[in-house]
Amino acid sequence: MKKTLLDEQTEKVIENRLFHHVYQPLYFLSDWSLLGYEAFLRTQYFVSPEQLFQNAERIDKLYELDILSLFKAIVSYTPKNKALQTSLFVNIFPSTLLHPDFHCFLDGLLSDYTVSKGEIVLEINESQEINDVKSMRNILSFLHQNGFQIALDDVGKGSASFKNLVEFEPDFVKLDRYFSIDLSVCPRKQRLIELLVSYCKDEAYLILEGIEKSEDLAIAKLLGVNIGQGYLLGKPEQFS
């Protein structure tokens, strides 16, 4: 198959690591204490990171890009206040976790770099369907045993979200930003969040993403959501 200009651009970004990360804060709503930051990939060569990842998958380079992004996000993580014990949320595709080389990558990362495993939250990207549930449960169990924490991203967006919530027993449940939009005036969203708050109690922390209005934040706190994230609380920024 003949390479397109987009394919060549994707390979260029991956081979030369022409990307960086910005970090967005997450806060406990009970006392406004800082939980940590989520890393987001940024590159000047694509309109959106999603386009880069989608094309990397099309040319069979997704694992390579995902691993490089994970590596760079972790080793570049230097929060403004280094004395704070903050968590780092890093996105990862299910296919990366299940890749036969992932264990070797993880061993190399932990042996060559000072990484505090208890502070790293691997955030499973929900854009891919997880067909091999047994293998995924095995790798997540391995990660838990080795001190990593697990988050399910964009819960409520995909058709398999709630099944994955039951199967994989995450430490963090991240509600899709859809639920934060006009939450203060939507009783149906409020009732669903109440159910999830009840479900997650003593099992996982519930995170509401995409909070942009103070009235929606107030309702999220009133409903018992544990953690908030969004432009109202802090925009993604590079650490200097």
Q: Which residue has the higher pLDDT, 137 or 131?
A: 137
Q: Could you tell me if 64 and 57 are in contact, meaning their C-beta atoms sit under 8 angstroms apart?
A: no
**In this structure, which CATH number among 3.30.450.40, 3.20.20.450, 3.40.50.2030, 3.40.50.10860 belongs to the domain 5-177+225-229?**
3.20.20.450
Q: What pLDDT does 240 receive?
A: 66
pLDDT at res. 127: 80
What integer pLDDT is reported at residue 23 of this predicted model? 95
Alpha helices in the chain (DSSP H): 5-16, 49-58, 62-75, 94-97, 102-112, 133-145, 161-168, 187-200, 214-223
In the prediction, which pLDDT does 135 show? 95
pLDDT of residue 38: 96
List, for residues 63-115, the tens digit of each pLDDT value. 999 999 999 998 888 766 555 678 999 999 999 999 999 999 988 877 766 66
Across the chain, what does the average pLDDT equal? 91
Whether residue 234 contacts residue 25, with contact meaning beta carbons closer than 8 Å, is answered with yes
pLDDT at 114: 62
- The pLDDT of residue 115 is 64
Q: Work out the average pLDDT over 202-226.
A: 97
When pLDDT is averaged across residues 213-219 and rounded to a whole number, the result is 98
Interval 148-186: pLDDT, tens:
999 999 888 766 678 888 899 999 999 999 999 999 999
The Cα angle at residue 64 between residues 24 and 10, in degrees rounded to 5: 80
Cα–Cα distance between 10 and 231 in angstroms, integer? 29
Cα gap 152→42, rounded to integer Å: 21
pLDDT tops 70 at residue 1: no
pLDDT for 57: 95
Q: How many angstroms separate the CA atoms of 33 and 30, rounded?
A: 8
pLDDT of residue 31: 96
pLDDT band at 146 (very low <50, low <70, confident <90, very high): confident
185-208: average pLDDT:
96
Give me the pLDDT at residue 83, please: 55
Q: Looking at the predicted structure, is the pLDDT value of residue 25 above 90? A: yes
